[in-house]
Structure 1
């Protein structure tokens, strides 16, 4: 039997991220359109680090981020979880 996978962030995770982003960026506006209405992406991004171009390495070191999305133009701003103290302890 294949276990059911979580398809989005939990309400608790979303609340924790929202509180942290409001604390760090109280006057956030989109750098593209100056709108101030954003939503949090419903999952994490995991950006793999590449040490030699044009090779593509899969696995290894990466930068986990959360995205916030402008409600007007769709601009996505990624924020490193470790830097904003949202990376779970077991991943540090």
Structure 2
């Protein structure tokens, strides 16, 4: 689970990058940050799945409060990866 502090920081960073939030499906303007991180594994083949030693894309998702549409945001692009590593030291 994300702490309130983490959610506030993520919301601050996302709103600094995305000026207007509107769901592309239902045009709602209310979103919630999912309470955890998503990890996308990059795979070299569509015919097999490898676990470990594959690049990953850590991200967070925001969800439309009306229709449930999810929008994922890359933590590296948002500048949040180094902050997480620094806090764990």
- TM-score normalised over the length of structure 1: 0.85
Counterpart of 2:62? 68
- Provide structure 1 residue ranges, at least 5 long, that are not aligned to the other structure: 1-7
Whether 1:32 aligns to 2:29 is: no
Counterpart of 2:43? 50
1:14-71 deviation line (CA, Å, top 9, x unaligned)? 0100101111112110111111100000000000001111111112210000000000
Counterpart of 2:76? 82
RMSD after superposition:
1.4
Distance in 2 (alpha carbons) for counterparts of 1:68 and 1:55: 29
Work out the number of aligned pairs and report it: 84
Counterpart of 1:19? 12
Q: What SS does the aligned partner of 1:42 have? A: coil
